[in-house]
Structure 1
Amino acid sequence: MVEELTRVSRGERSAGRPGRAVLPPALRAWLGTVAVLAALVTGALGVVYAGGGEPGGVDAWVPVGSSGRDAALAVDFLGEPVGAAVLVLVAVTGCLLGRWARAAVLVVAGTGLAVGITKLLKPLVGRTIHGDANLSYPSGHTAFLTAFALVGALVVTGRLGLGRTAGLSLVLAAALVAGGAMGWAQVTLGAHYPTDVLGGWCTALAVIPVTAWAVDAGWRRRL
């Protein structure tokens, strides 16, 4: 994998594309602000629901139904290890075929960090659902699919050279659709409380802009 990324990186330089950032300069300030706010929300919810095992007041506002279970299971599969691995593999392959190694690194690093942070936060927060063994906050499934959508939107924005308004609209819309779909699935299946889903969504919004900035910074130093 390292040799392949190095080869593609050289291809980027030879094609005159050494400076293509995965975090478009026009979006840095805006997404940086979003990342800070999302991190604050994730932390605040973690403090409020720490050690709990019941739905909170906010959770009661969200209607929960059992209809659409088959669709929910299909969406849920995208956050399972096999489904997530397939999505990441397809995205990485597409980035490498498009000779954009930096984007391939962001796909792996961004989604991996988003899920990893949810795994670190769960025992720290200690919120449970359906018994003490089922840690629920924040939702890793929601964090993964939201992170994956965010990375995809950033890649499309960079590839098409979209401006600030169009690029930011695409990124936020992708996060909302992906996070909303997975969040609905998790609540419908009874795997998470609505606030767990919100925490997972915000985790991805906090992680991806920072990871994209770090990938760009590391790439510049490497070149």
Structure 2
Amino acid sequence: MTGRPAPAALPPALRGWLGPIAALAALVVLVLGVVFAGDSEPGGVDAPIVAAVDGVGPPWRSVALSLDFLGEPGGAVMLVVAAVTVCLLLRRPRAAVLVVAGVALTVGTATLLKSFVGRTIHGPDNLSYPSGHTAFLTALALVTALLAAGRLGLGRAAGTSLVLGAGLVAGAAMGWAQVALGAHYPTDVLGGWCTALAVIPATAWLVDRAADRTAGRRAGRRAEAGQPERL
């Protein structure tokens, strides 16, 4: 052991920008939740987008189904295990913790919001806001981008651009699949994307804070053990 602290899950250079962005994303989630609470129809923004992608046929339907599978339990577990393995191989234990904790908290938050908001699609039993599939894949992309930004030593602008770009690509891809398959409205997708954007930076900060405190306590115990007895 070298005694050096483990690399941060949330690179310090990115904290100044990702914090306000996460807060704004949380606000969007809450506003959309209030607007569509108890609703069962597409909103004014949803209707033209749904009409544009409705009835997608082969081969694009196969692509949409493949993306959808990544958000199902089998596909999600496969992606999470792969991401954790990569983090451990790269000796990024905090990032590995963030993969598990961040994804779990993001999906859990989306699930709780569905129950509170009560928006439905295709019947009263299909809660739709926010999209859990979109939240999951976006969360995983954000964690991966945070790992890459930290490992590459990117600055604030480049690192934030990488993180937001990765989240946008993942969210757009899964969001398109969900709307094309008729599983969600576009505003559900936006809510899922913003849920991940709000939860992941906050979780990364908490992971770092907990790890730093644990490291500090261990260092303190080692220092005390090495001190000579006072007469």
TM-score (norm 2): 0.89
- Flag as ranges the 4+ runs of structure 1 deviating above 2 A: 14-17, 63-67
2:213 corresponds to: 221
User: How many Å apart are 1:129 and its aligned residue?
Assistant: 0.2
Structure 1, gaps ≥5 residues long: 1-13
Which residue of the other structure, out of 58, 80, 102, is the alignment partner of 2:45? 58
User: How many Å apart are 1:96 and its aligned residue?
Assistant: 1.3
Alignment of 1:81-120 (within 5 A): 81-120=73-112
2:221 corresponds to: none
**Amino acid in structure 2 at the alignment position of 1:56:** G
User: How many Å apart are 1:126 and its aligned residue?
Assistant: 0.4
1:177-204 deviation per Cα after TM superposition (whole angstroms, max 9, x unaligned):
0000000000000000000000000000
**Are the equivalent residues in 1 in contact too, given 2:110–2:135 (CA < 8 A)?**
yes
Residues 1:21 and 2:8 are matched in the alignment: yes
Judged with a 3 Å threshold, the aligned counterparts in structure 2 of structure 1 residues 159 and 17 are, in CA distance, closer, same or farther, namely: farther
Cα distance in 2 for residues equivalent to 1:118 and 1:61: 25
Which residue of the other structure, out of 189, 200, 206, is the alignment partner of 1:208? 200
Alignment of 1:3-152 (within 5 A): 14-15=1-2, 17-62=4-49, 63-67=52-56, 68-152=60-144
**Amino acid in structure 2 at the alignment position of 1:100:** R
Q: Secondary structure at the match of 1:57?
A: coil
Residues 1:197 and 2:184 are matched in the alignment: no
Judged with a 3 Å threshold, the aligned counterparts in structure 2 of structure 1 residues 166 and 15 are, in CA distance, closer, same or farther, namely: farther
Structure 2, gaps ≥5 residues long: 216-231
Q: Secondary structure at the match of 2:53?
A: coil
**Amino acid in structure 2 at the alignment position of 1:66:** G
Greater Cα shift, 162-171 or 60-69? 60-69
Paired residues, number: 210
User: How many Å apart are 1:28 and its aligned residue?
Assistant: 0.5
User: How many Å apart are 1:160 and its aligned residue?
Assistant: 1.2
Structure showing greater radius of gyration is 2
Q: What percentage of aligned pairs have identical amino acids?
A: 70
1:6 corresponds to: none
User: How many Å apart are 1:61 and its aligned residue?
Assistant: 3.5
RMSD of equivalent CA atoms: 1.0
1:72-94 deviation per Cα after TM superposition (whole angstroms, max 9, x unaligned):
00001110000000000011111
Cα distance in 1 for residues equivalent to 2:61 and 2:147: 32
**Are the equivalent residues in 1 in contact too, given 2:146–2:163 (CA < 8 A)?**
yes
Q: Secondary structure at the match of 2:45?
A: helix
**Amino acid in structure 2 at the alignment position of 1:84:** A
1:187-222 deviation per Cα after TM superposition (whole angstroms, max 9, x unaligned):
000000000000000000000000000000000001
